[in-house]
Chain A
Amino acid sequence: DVKVTQSSRYLVKRTGEKVFLECVQDMDHENMFWYRQDPGLGLRLIYFSYDVKMKEKGDIPEGYSVSREKKERFSLILESASTNQTSMYLCASSLKNTEAFFGQGTRLTVV
């Protein structure tokens, strides 16, 4: 069974902290994505990666960075967490640009 695993379901961090969200997939997919999901706004793309060490900005990259050192792992980094980054973060992977497989999400609260 295909699997995308996010390291934490819930996180609480303080304003100004550096935050790492980790995502691992076991499907050997080239493409990996980070979205944030907010009520009434759907899923918005933060960053994506189509190969190891390759990254592309999505629609809302400000305040975030990513790292992809290995094919199966894609990390989202909040350089200095702010309260407006409180959200649900979803990681996804795909082989083609059709079906994406999502992790269970990390609900991040910044206080």
Chain B
Amino acid sequence: DGGITQSPKYLFRKEGQNVTLSCEQNLNHDAMYWYRQDPGQGLRLIYYSQIVNDFQKGDIAEGYSVSREKKESFPLTVTSAQKNPTAFYLCASRAGTLLGEKLFFGSGTQLSVL
């Protein structure tokens, strides 16, 4: 079955540590996204990528970094510069060919600070 796989499901970060969240899709989608979800707030865009080797900052990119070396993969690194990293992180993708297409979402990663 095609879909988006995020791992791990739960992740703990120590002070000063960088951690990487994995996102893999087998939908052959061009566009991929990372969102952050905090309690009582909607999803906020961190980064997105429309094609391999290209990505753009979203609304809250500070303290995060991404790469897009393969079409299928779009990992997110939460760096030590992100002072409030505790949140639920969702990866999404879109075929990228039509306006109004829906986003397909992964099952998310809950990141907590030790």
- Chains A and B bind each other: no
Using a CB–CB cutoff of 8 Å, the interface residues on chain B facing chain A are none
Using a CB–CB cutoff of 8 Å, the interface residues on chain A facing chain B are none
